[in-house]
Amino acid sequence: MSDSENGRRLHAVDDGLLRRRAAISDLGDALRLLVEHAAATEAPTEELRRAAERIRQAAAPLGERVRGRHDSPTADDMLAGVRLYNPVTGAGSALAPPLEIHSDGDLSIGACTLGLAFEGPPSFAHGGVSAMLLDQMLGYAVGHSGNPGMTVRLDTGYRKPVPLLTPLRLTAQVTGIEGRRVTATGIIAVAAEPGEILVEATGVFVALRAEQARRLFGQAIGRMRQSRAG
């Protein structure tokens, strides 16, 4: 194959991948709308039954070709950090708010708004949801520092309840690195009052030894390489 033919082929593959990622995001948006409406609806009982039937019908074709536990989604790029179904940040996930994270120097900054589907105490977020957001924030900061690891400890302090339907600002940063252990801290605040801490967390992350990475993720990485080669 000539260079230009190869270039055209790669370009076509990229276009296909981009279109698939856009479609996954679109489906994610639709699912999140559904989840939020389902948590908030006061529609008549018969409408709930009709909706349940229509949703089952819509889900059926998606279930005809599915991946197994160790297969990466074909649209993901684990090495580049593209994880479309991450339950906190994934654009394709029905469960994700989704939380959007970027870095400003050593500081990781996140933004999201939690809908009624995330309710714990009336009108406020479930405490486990706050812990999930902070685990992701801290993990991102740890990865961004160049020392990615898995959470081995997450301490959360709940100072004030986190309001739903209110833009939130989250921040995180690495505070210490000792051998394989990285410590990070983070907070959740209302975006309009970023100085007032609602929830704070400190996490300890441990870098995997090569044999641990092979034991835990070897099958998934092997399948990802196979599917890329094919």
Ligand X SMILES: CCCCCCCCCC(=O)SCCNC(=O)CCNC(=O)[C@H](O)C(C)(C)COP(=O)(O)OP(=O)(O)OC[C@H]1O[C@@H](n2cnc3c(N)ncnc32)[C@H](O)[C@@H]1OP(=O)(O)O
Which residues of the shown chain bind ligand X in the complex (CB under 6 A)?
A: 81, 135-136, 139-140, 143, 150-153, 178-181, 204, 206, 208, 212
**CA 22 – CA 217 distance, rounded (Å):** 27
Q: How far is CA 228 from CA 6, 90, 221, in A?
A: 16, 21, 11
Q: What is the distance, to the nearest Å, from the Cα of residue 67 to the centroid of all Cα atoms in its chain?
A: 18
Specify the residue for token string 């441990």.
Answer: 206
Q: Is 109 helix (H, G, I), strand (E, B) or coil?
A: strand
Closest residue by beta carbon to ligand X: 139
List, in sequence order, every beta strand (DSSP E) within the chain: 100-104, 107-112, 150-158, 168-178, 181-190, 199-206
Residue number, 133 or 164, with CB nearest to ligand X: 133
Per the structure block, which two tokens stand in for 124?
Answer: 């406020």
Least distance CB 60 / ligand X (angstroms): 32
Per the structure block, which two tokens stand in for 91?
Answer: 């654009």
Least distance CB 14 / ligand X (angstroms): 23
Least distance CB 18 / ligand X (angstroms): 21
Per the structure block, which two tokens stand in for 120?
Answer: 């714990």
Residues 6+ apart with CB under 8 A from 192: 167
Least distance CB 175 / ligand X (angstroms): 14
- φ, ψ of residue 29 to 5 degrees: the values are -60, -45
Residue number, 24 or 145, with CB nearest to ligand X: 145
Least distance CB 136 / ligand X (angstroms): 5
Residue number, 34 or 150, with CB nearest to ligand X: 150
Least distance CB 92 / ligand X (angstroms): 16
Least distance CB 170 / ligand X (angstroms): 13
Residue number, 113 or 151, with CB nearest to ligand X: 151
Per the structure block, which two tokens stand in for 10?
Answer: 């790669």
Residue number, 124 or 205, with CB nearest to ligand X: 205
Residue number, 5 or 178, with CB nearest to ligand X: 178
Residue number, 36 or 200, with CB nearest to ligand X: 200
| In contact, 87 and 93? CB cutoff 8 Å | yes
